Amino acid sequence: MAGGIEHAYGQALQAWAQGKVITLPPGDAKSANQRAQKAALTLAIALQNKAKVPDAITGATAIFQQQLDNGHMALAPSLGVGLNEYMIPDTHSFIWYAAMGTLHELAWHRLDVATDGVKALRGLTFQWWQHHLSMCSVMSVPANAGPATDNAQLNVGSVVSPGARAKGGTMSYHRDAIYRKRFGIPQVGQATNPKWWTAKDPDLVGPFWVAKNLDTLPQTKDIGPDHLPMLSNPMTIQRYKLGFRAFFADGIIPTSAFDPTVRAWMDYPHWKAGFKLLPNGPSDPEPDAPWPGDLVVEYKVKGKTEPEPED
C-alpha cells in the first residue's frame, strides 16, 4: 500500500499497546479509518498525559455516533464526500480493529467509569463490536458447509461480504480470525500461533485487544441477526442450502467509496467465493444450478440512503 498517515497512526497504536509513551504523528486524518485511528490515539495520549481527557472522550464518542447516524463504518452524511468506507472494508479491516480495539480497552479498562462520558463510551464500543460481529455472522461460512480446503483465506468462519478496497483483496484474514476467536471456531493459518495474537506488528493490534478483552466484548448470545447495524446503503443477505449471497440494491454505485464490491457469493460444495466490483468490474458470475439450492433465510439490513425509485 502507498504510504499514508494510517501507517504512522498504526505504529503509534502498536507502541501504546506495548506500554510505551506516544505522541500523535503529524498529518491530516482524512479517510474514515484514519479518523477512527486518530480518535483512539487522541484519547490514549490524553489519558497518558492527564490532559484534555474530556475533549478526547467527546471526540471518541463522535466517531461512534457518526456511524450510528450515517451507517456502519461511515462517518459522513453521504458517500459523495469521499470520507467513507463501504461496509466491512477488506484489506483495511485491521486498521479499524486497531482503532476500535484500543477505544474498547480505554473505555472498559483504563478510564474511570465515574468520569463524565465514559459509561456512554463503554456502551458505544460494545455496540460497535456487536454490530460488526453480527454482520460477520450472517455472511460467514458455517461448519456444515463441508470439509474445507487448506485455504486460510476461505475456510469455516470466513466472512464473504461486499465492501470497500476490493482491488487490494476481497477477503480479510484479520476479520475472519477475530470472528473465529469470538465464536470459538478453530483457527487456520497464522492465527493458530499464539504470537499472532500479540502486538508485535501494527496489523495485529486489533487481534491483540480482542483476545485480551473477550470478557467485555459482546458474547455469542449478543451477536446475530437481531443486532445488525444500519449501513450507508441497504444490503440483502440470502442464505441457501448450498451457499449464500450478499448484495447492495441494484443501481447503488458508491462513486466515492474506495474500490467497492457491491455483491458477493459463496458456493459451499466447491469452496468458491465471487465478487462484483464497481464501477467497471470485474464480476465473478454466480454458479449454475443446482446452486444455491433452497432458500433458508433472508436478511434485510437497513441503509441510510435508500435507492431512488425507478421511473
pLDDT tens readout for residues 182-200: 999 999 999 999 999 999 9
294: alpha, beta or left? (left if phi > 0; alpha if psi -120 to 50)? beta
What integer pLDDT is reported at residue 96 of this predicted model?
A: 96
Please tell me whether the overall predicted TM-score, pTM, comes out greater than 0.85 for this model: yes
Q: What is the pLDDT of residues 84-139, one digit of tens each?
A: 677 777 788 999 999 999 999 999 999 999 999 999 999 999 999 999 999 999 99
- DSSP for 177-237 reads HHHHHHHTPPP-GGGGSGGGGSSSSGGGHHHHHHHHTTTTSPPGGG-SGGGPPPBSS-EEE
pLDDT band at 279 (very low <50, low <70, confident <90, very high): low
CB 37 within 8 A of CB 95: yes
pLDDT averaged over the chain?
Answer: 91
In the chain, what are the domain boundaries? 5-226, 234-301
What integer pLDDT is reported at residue 204 of this predicted model?
A: 98
How many Å apart are CA 303 and CA 301, to the nearest integer?
7
Q: How many CB atoms lie within 10 A of CB 115?
A: 12
The dihedral through the CA atoms of 111, 113, 117, 122 has a sign that is: positive
Annotate 239-259 with b (16+ C-beta within 10 A) or e (fewer): bbebbbbbbbeeebebeebbb
How many Å apart are CA 54 and CA 57, to the nearest integer?
5
What integer pLDDT is reported at residue 285 of this predicted model?
A: 94
Query: Does 311 score more than 60 pLDDT?
Result: no
Q: What is the pLDDT of residues 3-26, one digit of tens each?
A: 689 999 999 999 999 999 999 999
CB 136 within 8 A of CB 244: no
What integer pLDDT is reported at residue 1 of this predicted model?
A: 39
